[in-house]
Amino acid sequence: MSTSPVSSGSGGQPRRHLRRLLALALLLALALLAAYARPLLATARLGAAYGARVACSCHYVAGRPLGDCREDFEPGMGLVTLSADEAARRVTARFALVLRQSATYREGWGCQLDRWTD
């Protein structure tokens, strides 16, 4: 009685193609991220600055509760969170917990964005 060895045949082909496809998809995703990273970060920074300035004016100039100030945001700003430092009269907006910007109320000047730091 003779037994023949099991041939590897084409059983490995689908896995090899899947690995190549996944590697290609990963490279494409990294290339897109690299190409759009700067514009995305600039948009996120702008969104945080807008949120801080609008919320500061809403809270300290108009006297509304900070929670109500989100109603003044533009559509698509759901990832911007707000916090207030009542003693400093400052509102800080964070975009997705990554980028932040603050605006401070100054008597006679209103709300001004704090200096941007890179």
Q: How confident is the model at residue 53 (pLDDT cuts 50, 70, 90)?
A: very high
Nearest residue to 43 via CA among 96, 103, 112, 90: 96
Q: Rounded distance, CA 68 to CA 60, Å?
A: 12
Q: How confident is the model at residue 118 (pLDDT cuts 50, 70, 90)?
A: low
Q: How confident is the model at residue 11 (pLDDT cuts 50, 70, 90)?
A: low
User: Model pTM?
Assistant: 0.70
User: Residue 90: pLDDT above 60?
Assistant: yes
**pLDDT, position 37:** 85
**Which tens digits make up the pLDDT trace of 68-89?**
999 999 998 889 999 999 999 9
Coil, strand or helix: which one is 50?
helix
Residues above pLDDT 90, as percent of the chain: 62
**pLDDT, position 40:** 84
Who wins on pLDDT, 3 or 51?
51
Strand partners, 104: 90, 112
